[in-house]
Amino acid sequence: MRELQQFAPWVESGYAGEMEYLKRRNERGEYKRSSLQAALPWAESVIVAAMNYNPPAVKSTDRALPTQGWISRYALSPADYHEIVLRALKHVESALLEHFTAANRQIETRAYVDTGPVLERAYAKYAGIGWIGKNTCIINQELGSWIFLGVIVTSLPYSEFVPEQNLAVAPDRCGSCTRCIDACPTQAIVAPGQLDASRCIAYFTIEKRGTIPEEMRERIGRHVFGCDICQDVCPWNRKAPVTANPALQPDSSLVNPDLGELAQLSVEDFRRRFRGSPISRAKYSGLLRNVAIAMGNSGRDEYVPMLDEMAASPDGVVAEHARWAIEQICRGKVGTPRRSVLPDQPSGAPKSEAPAS
Ligand code: B12
Ligand code: SF4
Ligand code: SF4
């Protein structure tokens, strides 16, 4: 698989940033994600599932008040998507085990949602779920890219499921469109389908611990958790159906959340409110750091007293980002124009690139 061969060069270019789990190797020194057998020597095939998570909510590129932050679509429901997708996968896994045990055949299986050393998007492509868009997301022609992936790795030879000649790899339908590349505020999409994750706002606001490089802070805009810009501008998401899954319905207070309210959360409030939610991954310190950046980018002096309090925080990271934010707001006041960090509204895609209705 071409995509698997790209993994080692991808890591070695530094694109994984500080995400050490992506760089893990096996006892032979191979990157675990570089092939299925590098991580699970018994593995022969992968079953891939996708779940629509698109909540009925505005886009990050729609107009918003300067007091509103942005939390990614995938984190708007209070539930843990890993558990929801895994529960569904476990039904399939149990049925498989039952079927093969009844036939007196031993099989090994392992189900993962994010958590395994498996390049889920690469397998999703060859399972026919969708193509890898220029923004690196799997895009399904009907559902768009607001889909979670989950996999069951099995020891069953792949030909037991699908004869090779029937592999239904989805054709690439990006065409000449480059909206995602053009709209990315940090130029993280370095070439079609290749992401320098160490420049991605999702990486900074979710995965990165400690300090966010100063030259990136303005570009982060109002994002306090994750980033959806390269998907919000994608024509294939324009008519994406919303999810009917009751467990994935959005908590309306997280859509365009009020920055002041987020800044005032205590550590206990944070734990109570985001227990089980993807947002807990940023940790309390990370969320406050992100909120400080968004407040700085808002240019609103009403935030200065709150930022003053944050600047006195015993958490050095929060304190430093709050000081930066105060400076940003004050600099705006003496007349230095603040650069707009949101892309222009998408204005209608060329017909050949628009999704089928
Ligand atoms: C680490 C990680 C991240 C990192 C890095 C993302 C990245 N693109 O590498 C960060 C934190 C930035 C991130 C962000 C997001 N993520 Co994420 N993430 C993961 C995770 C855990 C591992 C991905 C990984 O291994 N990355 C390493 C690179 C090499 O892998 P890849 O992007 O899958 O790479 C493919 C292409 O880039 C291409 N490629 C790479 N190099 C080259 C070079 C050449 C020449 C070519 C042609 C191709 C090519 O081939 C690769 C294999 O298919 C997966 C779950 C999993 N186990 O796969 C979820 C996953 C990819 N993330 C997901 C989601 C939802 C997101 C966000 C939308 C969340 C958000 N809103 O903030 C954003 C999307 C940003 C984006 N444009 O990708 C979903 C994607 C669903 C989908 N429809 O595609 C996944 C599958 C989780 C899940 N189980 O549903 N994520
Ligand atoms: S998620 Fe945001 S920062 Fe990351 S590639 Fe997409 S637009 Fe760029
Ligand atoms: S915005 Fe355009 S180029 Fe980017 S993933 Fe969507 S269709 Fe492909």
Which of 103-107, 183-187, 347-351 is the most confident on average? 183-187
Choose which residue among 121, 142, 152 to substitute to test ligand 1 binding: the one with the highest number of ligand atoms within 8 A of its C-beta.
121
Give 263 Cα–ligand 3 centroid separation in angstroms: 34
**Which is the closest atom of ligand 1 to the Cα of 130?**
83
Mean pLDDT of all residues in 39-59: 95
Better pLDDT: 350 or 121: 121
Q: Rounded CA gap, 304 and 164, in Å? A: 62
Cα angle 157, 163, 169 (rounded to 5 degrees) comes to: 105
Q: Over 70: is that where the pLDDT of 6 sits?
A: yes
Ligand 3 cavity residues, CB under 6 Å: 133-135, 174, 177-180, 233-236, 353
Does residue 90 carry a pLDDT above 80?
Answer: yes
**What contacts 218, CB < 8 A, 6 or more positions away?**
297, 328, 338, 339, 341
Mean pLDDT of 7-31: 97
Q: Which atom of ligand 2 lies at the shortest distance from residue 195's CA?
A: 5
More confident residue, 342 or 231: 231
Whether residue 242 has pLDDT greater than 80: yes
Decide if pLDDT at 1 tops 60: yes
> Ligand 1 within 6 A of 216 CB?
no
State the average pLDDT over residues 264-292: 97
Whose Cα sits closest to atom 6 in ligand 3? Answer: 234
Statement: residue 352 has pLDDT above 50: no
**Band of residue 164 on the pLDDT scale cut at 50, 70, 90:** low
Distance 298 CA to ligand 3 centre (A): 29
pLDDT of 356 higher than 70: no
CA 9 to centroid of ligand 1, rounded, Å: 15
| Residue among 62, 80, 114, 315 flagged as catalytic | 114
Residues with Cβ within 6 A of ligand 2?
Answer: 135, 184, 186, 188-189, 195, 200-202, 227, 229-230
Average pLDDT of the chain?
Answer: 91
Tell me what pLDDT residue 31 has.
97
Helix (H), strand (E), coil (C) string for the chain: CHHHHCHHHHHHCCCCCCCHHHHCECCCCCEHHHCHHHHCCCCCEEEEEEEECCCCCCCCCCCCCCCECEECHHHCCCCCHHHHHHHHHHHHHHHHHHHHHHCCCCCCEEEECCCCCCCHHHHHHHCCCCEECCCCCEEECCCECCEEEEEEEECCCHHHCCCHHHCCCCCCCCCCCCHHHHHCCCCCEEECCEECHHHCHHHHHHHCCCCCCHHHHHHHCCEEECCCHHHHCCHHHCCCCCCCCHHHCCCHHHCCCEHHHHHCCCHHHHHHHHCCCHHHHHHHHHHHHHHHHHHHHHCCHHHHHHHHHHHCCCCHHHHHHHHHHHHHHHHHHCCCCCCCCCCCCCCCCCHHHCCCC
114 flagged as catalytic: yes
Question: 332 pLDDT band (50/70/90 cuts)?
Answer: confident
Is pLDDT of 306 > 70? yes
Supply the pLDDT for residue 166: 65
pLDDT of residue 160 exceeding 80: no
pLDDT-derived band of residue 357, with 50, 70 and 90 as boundaries?
Answer: very low
Q: Are strands 131-132 and 109-112 parallel, antiparallel or unpaired?
A: unpaired
Report the pLDDT value the prediction gives residue 165, as an integer from 0 to 100. Answer: 61
Q: Is the pLDDT of residue 350 over 70?
A: no
Pocket test for ligand 3, best of 143, 238, 353 (most atoms within 8 A of CB): 353
pLDDT band at 158 (very low <50, low <70, confident <90, very high): confident
